[in-house]
Amino acid sequence: MLNAYNSKTDIIFIFLSDQEIVYDYKDIRAQRQIIQDQFKDTGWRSTELLEKVAKSDSFYFDKFSQIKMPAWSKGRVALIGDAAYCPSPASGQGGSLAMQGAATLADALLLCDGDFKLAFEAYERG
């Protein structure tokens, strides 16, 4: 993906792996090699973009992770927003989801007359 703004362009490579890729988060050279290995000979402008990645002084490498919780509450604590039901780590909906979740939870608490156990159950049912 290319993301252009303020006369600059971010080059973003994203890939899915069936197996955990073990890497040293301090070893930028090895991280660049992972990207090179994943995208070499893939067509389009990949060769050109990989050359830019190899020379970039603002390279960043990380993995997107998402944990799916079996429940959004435990005891007297309930999760809202990204902490409970993030649609994607890259969706950009964290603030909106948190406000919507807080309103939904507040409605459930009101309907259940403050009984948090019943309210949490209603909240998790949607």
CB 72 within 8 A of CB 124: yes
What's phi and psi for 99, nearest 5 deg? -70, -40
pLDDT in tens, the chain (126 residues): 898 999 999 998 988 888 889 999 999 999 999 999 999 999 999 999 999 999 999 999 998 877 888 999 999 999 998 888 887 767 778 889 999 999 999 999 999 999 999 999 999 998
Give me the pLDDT at residue 64, please. Answer: 80
| Closest residue by Cα to residue 38 from 65, 14, 2, 64 | 14
CA–CA distance, 5 with 126 (Å, rounded to integer): 38
- pTM, two decimal places: 0.61
Give me the pLDDT at residue 69, please. Answer: 84
Return the amino acid letter for 125.
Answer: R
Burial class (CB in 10 A: 0-12, 13-18, 19+), 39: middle
CA–CA distance, 42 with 109 (Å, rounded to integer): 52
Q: What is the 3-state secondary structure (H, E, C) of 48-110?
A: HHHHHHHHCCCCCCCCCCCCCCCCCEECCEECCCHHHHCCCCCCCCHHHHHHHHHHHHHHHHH
Domain coordinates in residue numbering, the chain: 2-55, 73-125
